[in-house]
Amino acid sequence: MENKFLIKKSALRKVKTGKGVTIIQPSNLYECRLGNNCFVGPFTEIQKGVVIGDNCRIQSHSFICELVTIGNNCFIGHGVMFINDTFSDGKPSAGNQSKWKKTIIGNNVSVGSNATILPVNICDNVVIGAGAVVTKNINRKGVYAGNPAKRLPQKSK
C-alpha cells in the first residue's frame, strides 16, 4: 500500500502591509495586516485576522493565532506563542471557533522569548519576561514574569 500525503509550502497569502515591511522566509502569513516598518523573522506563523501595528518586530519561531491584535512599537521575542483556544470543555475546540477568545496587546509592549500569551488584554508600556505565561489581563504598566506571570516590584531610584 502506497502512502499518500500532501506537502504544502510556506506562503504569504492575502497579507496587507504598510510601507517598509520586511518578512524573512520561510514564514507562513495569511489574511493578516502588518503596519508600517514591521519586521517578521523566519519560521513565524501569523494567522488570518491578526492585526499588527506600526514599528513592530516579530522574532523567529513565533506563532500568532487568529483573534490577536498587537499595538504599535511592540517587540515579540523568539518562540512566543499566542493561544486562542482555552480548552473550555477540557479538550481542543476541534475547530469550533465560537469558543476561541481574543487577545489585545497595547502599544510599547515587549514580550520575551518563549513566553505564552493566553487570551488576555495587555495595556500599554508592559514588559513580559522570557518564558512567562500570561493567564490574566494586565491593566498596569510594569514588568511581569513567571508562571503565571506576576508584576515584579519596581526598584526605587
pLDDT, tens digit, 9 for 90 and up, residues 69-127: 999 999 999 999 999 998 888 888 877 888 899 999 999 999 999 999 999 999 999 99
How many other C-beta atoms can be found within 10 angstroms of the C-beta atom of residue 119?
Answer: 20
Domains: count for the chain: 1
Q: Which pLDDT band holds residue 1 (cuts at 50, 70, 90)?
A: low
Are residues 54 and 73 in contact, defined by beta-carbon separation less than 8 angstroms? yes
**Which CATH number characterizes residue 49's domain?**
2.160.10.10
Say which DSSP state 138 is in: B
- Give the pTM: 0.93
Report if residue 110 sits inside a domain: yes
Report if residue 55 sits inside a domain: yes
Q: Which domain holds residue 113?
A: 12-86+98-151
Report if residue 93 sits inside a domain: no
Beta-bridge partner residues of 122 = 105, 138
CA 35, CA 50: separation in Å to the nearest integer? Answer: 11
- Closest by CA to 92, choosing from 65, 121, 114, 52, is 65
